[in-house]
Amino acid sequence: MSVGTPFVRAIPVSDVPPDKLVSIDVQGTRVLFSNLGGEIHAVSAICTHEEFDLAQGFVLDNAVVCALHLSQFDLRTGEVYNPPATEPLRVFNVKIEENVIFVEV
């Protein structure tokens, strides 16, 4: 028996304009959506340093800067660039269908 697609409908692409950060709950997981040059990315929205929503931070090149203690995370790979955070963010697969973002959480 095949298992259905794990992709979940999230938000319209138009809700994530370039350099804007949007975090929403997708099936109980807080997901941060970003638009880097027209490419949509999704990572965990909660900073790995403390429980803080990264959507309150800002985009710097291809990274999100946490507004609380300024750790930076790559929005494409989740890689952490600087302390105090040391753990990377989870990365989620996305796909676009009919201008809607679907995410695999």
To ligand FES, the closest distance from the beta carbon of 5 in angstroms equals 32
Of 56 and 62, nearer to ligand FES (C-beta) is 56
**Two tokens, residue 76:** 């494409």
The Cα–Cα gap between 6 and 92 comes to: 11
Of 23 and 71, nearer to ligand FES (C-beta) is 71
To ligand FES, the closest distance from the beta carbon of 73 in angstroms equals 9
Binding site for ligand FES (CB under 6 A): 47, 49-50, 52, 66, 68-69, 71, 84-85
Of 7 and 81, nearer to ligand FES (C-beta) is 81
Cα torsion 44, 47, 51, 52: sign: negative
Of 54 and 105, nearer to ligand FES (C-beta) is 54
Conformational region of residue 98, where left means phi above 0, alpha means psi within -120 to 50, and beta covers everything else: left
To ligand FES, the closest distance from the beta carbon of 54 in angstroms equals 7
* Share of the chain residues as helix, strand and coil, in percent rounded to the nearest 5: 5, 50, 45
